[in-house]
Amino acid sequence: MTDSPIDSVLEESRTFPPPQHFVDSANQTPADINQLYDAAASDHTGFWATQARHHLDWHQPFSSVLNASDAPFFRWFEDGELNAAYNCLDRHLPERADQTAIIFEGDDGQVENITFQDLFARTCRFANTLKASNIGKGDRVIIYLPNIPQAVVAMLACARIGAIHSVVFGGFSAPAIRDRINDAEARAVITADGNYRGGKLIQLKKTVDEALAEGCDSVETVFVYRRAGIDIDLNSARDVDWDKAVAEQSTQCPPVAVDSEHPLFILYTSGSTGRPKGIYHSTGGYLLGTICTCRWTFDLGERDIFWCTADVGWVTGHSYIAYGPTACGVTQVMFEGVPTYPEPDRLWAMVERHGVSVFYTAPTGIRALMRQGDEYPERHDLTSLRLLGTVGEPINPEAWMWYYRVIGGERCPIVDTWWQTETGAHMITALPSYTTTRPGSVSKPLPGISADILDESGERVETANAGGYLVIRQPWPSMLRGIWGDPERYRETYFGLFDSFTYVAGDSAQRDADGNFRILGRTDDVVNVSGHRLGTMEVESALVAHKSVSEAAVVGRPHDVKGEAIVAFVILQANASADNLADELREWVSKQLGAIAKPEEIRFTDGLPKTRSGKIMRRLVRSVARGDEITQDTSTLENPQIVKQLQAEGH
Ligand code: WT7
């Protein structure tokens, strides 16, 4: 078990009941929520079947709700057929063709309103473009785009023809793209020439060219959207200009009905080995999870302007930009830039400018903006806000209170939503008209989600505030369906600890006497930097790939803004010199994996604590990195003296 990153929250006793004015105008009343809980408790699969019939439009209705005969490979609504893009676009057209789907604000401040009709037409045109390049059902397509509406169009266009997209975050480097292309055996890449973020040019096409320069034989076509208007190399045998291609295509493209279990997308995330995992999701179950949670957690409805500040490159941007809000027919804001450009009031200016009512962001961003001072939010009228959300890591009570007071004007409930790339949608969260919230607590599992806490032997932890493994005891529709190409790793990673029905999240958690959950941190070798997961072994692999490095151990250390920062302990090759190497290695990792993975600190050493079987004891390294007193048993170490040495080297 990891240690709690925040000890002070244990004393947190402030509680915030749902404000009466919110309850009075909520789309989901407390009575509605009670009904959902009751229905889910009395019949788990029946409950989800009702939700699936209510929230989704099916080309072919399902009769089988859950097939668990091959657990942990679960199949939901398996004989049903539907199309995700149809559910996000076509079905809204009779009633809301002219309603804005996306209010897009570019880095440079330019605003564009895209109606559901526009989004539909653009999606059809691009889907036809994909088809013209012979891309169809089951083909994998890598999307490497900025956070612009074309990313949503690209995702929905894939979904429309049954192609499986895999979005790679625009901050990732060429080797990371190459790995993902090869793992998914992608036939196409969709990218942009480049774009500006915070006024800085990001050269996406150049990075794709670099990725494709070695291997990647599966890629036949690269679609290039001109966003930056910069000069790029075009390979006429392979590259297709987006604007030119779509101009020739029709604005009608029939949706391909796929099985509910047909994979909608693959999204790579970090695990505890060096290789990223291609988490893949189904069409029906996944879409259902995003819709239900947009309705339940965010209380979204007709009058809302929703804004999720995540990038489409992460699961949050999949579930709460591309799919959930569009499937609910809700107007949303999408933003290409960064919170501090041109000034640290950018987000608050945008809330005011676009009249945002429901705002969803990450604790790392809240902390960063909190540090800039209250004068930035105070410049703006934020009274359009009615609900605030957070996701990605535990939020410290200080940041929670600032969010509540300064951004929400002590008027807006805060929903702290626990979920993962693997869970597809919110799992444990407050419900705004229903829950009495506490800073730092993620409250209770949603209806139909059987979250629990188990000890090492699989017994339920009954004692209040005792830690244990966070698990989900019954399958749920939006759960991952596997790790691309590696069913064994799926079984092992998520169902290996207890049994094939008990999903192990990889987090430790505790529950108070009222049943409210608190997330303590990861139990595996994953670091959470600014709400993004990084496998310590991925960073280690990148380090040892450098010619001067012999061995490396990477751990996380608490960081005021990022949540955790990466510290790397490095053993050099015999003839290598440490002079000027720390910066070189930091840049090296950034080049290999992307800037998020850049270590905060590199410490050179000539030994690491290892067990007799040769495994690095990361827990000890972590304690050293944090400057904690060593209380762990070091007797099984092959080289017990190394701990003192490492500590001394740190001073
Ligand atoms: C991990 C999942 C889910 C979208 C963003 C991250 C941590 C997530 C919370 C929260 C405490 C949280 C967990 C989880 N996490 N939300 N509200 N409170 N911790 O997705 O990259 O798949 O990471 O993020 O450790 O396992 P992800």
One domain, residues 454 and 594: no
Q: What is the CA radius of gyration of the chain?
A: 24
Give a yes or no: residue 479 inside a domain: yes
- Domain assignment present for 457: yes
Q: Which residues pair with 164 in a beta bridge?
A: 140
Residue 19 lies in a domain: no
- Please tell me whether residues 115 and 235 are part of one structural domain: yes
Angle between the 204-212 and 174-184 helix axes, to the nearest 10 degrees?
Answer: 60
Ligand 1 pocket mutation, candidates 419, 516, 526, 538, criterion most atoms within 8 A of CB: 419
pLDDT in tens, 61-106: 999 999 999 999 999 999 999 999 999 999 999 999 999 999 999 9
User: Are 445 and 551 in the same domain?
Assistant: no
Provide the CATH number for the domain around residue 571.
Answer: 3.30.300.30
394 CA from centroid of ligand 1 (Å): 8
Taking CA atoms only, the protein residue closest to ligand 1 atom 2 is 420
Pull the structure tokens for residue 623: 């304690």
Q: Are 47 and 179 found together in one domain?
A: yes
pLDDT higher than 90, residue 325: yes
79 and 131 together in one domain: yes
Amino acid at 58: W
Which has the closest alpha carbon to 148: 188, 92, 204?
Answer: 204
Same domain? For 308 and 215 the reply is: yes
* Domain assignment of residue 123, yes or no: yes
Q: What is the mean pLDDT of residues 458-463?
A: 96
Q: Quick one: average pLDDT of 300-328?
A: 97
Please tell me the least confidently modeled range out of 227-231, 468-472, 483-487, 628-632.
628-632
Please state the pTM of the whole predicted model.
0.92
Q: Ligand 1 mean position to 310 CA, how many Å?
A: 13
pLDDT of residue 651: 62
Average pLDDT of span 569-589: 93
pLDDT at res. 1 = 35
DSSP state letter for 404: I
Q: Are both 276 and 332 inside the same structural domain?
A: yes
Mean pLDDT for 620-633 is 86
Q: Report CA(496)–ligand 1 centroid distance (Å).
A: 21
Mean pLDDT of 497-503: 98
Whose Cα sits closest to atom 1 in ligand 1?
Answer: 420
594: left (phi over 0), alpha (psi -120 to 50) or beta: left
Please check the confidence at residue 130 and state whether its pLDDT lies above 70. yes
Stronger pLDDT, 405 or 627, i.e. the higher one:
405
Check whether 10 has a pLDDT greater than 90. Answer: no
pLDDT of residue 566 exceeding 90, the answer is yes
Is 392 inside a domain boundary? no
Q: Whose CA is nearest to atom 23 of ligand 1?
A: 420
Q: What is the mean pLDDT of residues 627-635?
A: 81
- Give residue ranges with CB within 6 A of ligand 1: 269, 315-316, 391-394, 416-421, 442, 505-507, 519, 522, 528, 531-533
Residue 6 pLDDT grade (very low, low, confident, very high; cuts 50, 70, 90)? very low
236: CB partners within 8 A, 6+ apart: none
Q: Which atom of ligand 1 is nearest to the CA of 422?
A: 22
Shared domain for 167 and 274, answered yes or no, is: yes
Residue 617 clears pLDDT 90, i.e. is over it? no
Distance 455 CA to ligand 1 centre (A): 21
pLDDT at 285 over 90: yes
- Which residues are paired to 569 by β-bridges? 553, 603
The 3-state DSSP class for residue 323 equals: helix
Of 495, 514, 547, the last residue of a domain is: 495
Q: Which of 117-121, 162-166, 336-340, 627-631 has the lowest mean pLDDT?
A: 627-631
Percent of the chain with pLDDT over 70: 98
64, 175: one domain: yes
User: Ligand 1 atom 24: the closest Cα is on which residue?
Assistant: 392
Selection from 155, 302, 171, 316 nearest residue 223 by Cα: 155
In this structure, the residue with its CA closest to atom 13 of ligand 1 is: 393
Dihedral angle of Cα 505, 506, 509, 514, to the nearest 10 degrees: 0
Determine the pLDDT at residue 438.
Answer: 95
**Ligand 1 atom at minimum distance from 442 CA:** 17
Write down which residue in 479, 495, 511 finishes a domain: 495
CA neighbor of 495 nearest in space, from 521, 469, 519, 520: 469
Strand partners, 563: 529, 559
Q: Which of 507, 518, 523 to mutate to test the pocket of ligand 1 (most atoms within 8 A of CB)?
A: 507
Report the b/e string of 224-248 with b at 16+ CB within 10 A: bbebbeeebeeeeeebbebeebbee
Give CA–CA dist 373/343, Å, rounded.
Answer: 12
3-class secondary structure for 208-232? HHHHHCCCCCCCCEEEEECCCCCCC
Q: What CATH number is given to the structural domain containing 74?
A: 3.40.50.12780
Q: Using the 3D structure, point to which of 441, 472, 495 is the last residue of a domain.
A: 495
Indicate which atom in ligand 1 lies nearest the CA of residue 526: 25
Compute how many other C-beta atoms are within 10 angstroms of the C-beta atom of residue 257.
Answer: 16
Supply the mean pLDDT for the chain: 94
Does residue 535 have a pLDDT over 90?
Answer: no
β 140-144/164-167 pair status: parallel
- CB-based contact 163:136 (threshold 8 Å): yes
Note whether residue 609 is domain-resident: yes
> Given the CA of residue 505, which atom of ligand 1 is nearest to it?
26
pLDDT band at 362 (very low <50, low <70, confident <90, very high): very high
pLDDT above 50 (res 49):
yes
Please check whether residues 549 and 479 belong to one and the same domain.
no
Domain range for residue 62? 33-338+417-495
Cα(382) to ligand 1 centroid in Å equals 27
**Looking at residues 175-179, what average pLDDT do you find?**
94
Structural domains counted in the chain: 2
Quickly state the pLDDT bin for 190 (edges 50, 70, 90). very high
55 alpha carbon – ligand 1 mean position (Å)? 26
Q: Phi, psi (5° rounding) for residue 307? A: -140, 115
What phi and psi values does residue 508 have, to the nearest 5 degrees? -100, 150
Q: How far apart are CA 500 and CA 18, in angstroms?
A: 38
Residue 3 has what pLDDT? Answer: 38
How many angstroms separate the alpha carbon of residue 5 from the centre of ligand 1?
A: 14
Residue 183 covered by a domain: yes
Q: How far apart are CA 453 and CA 472, in angstroms?
A: 9
Within a domain: 16:
no
pLDDT at site 319: 98
Q: Are residues 121 and 164 in the same domain?
A: yes
Nearest-CA residue for atom 17 of ligand 1 = 418
Residues 456 and 599 grouped into a single domain? no
pLDDT surpasses 80 at 2: no
Centre of ligand 1 to C-alpha 625, Å, is 23
pLDDT at 525 exceeding the cut of 60: yes
Give distance in angstroms: CA of 528 to centre of ligand 1: 8
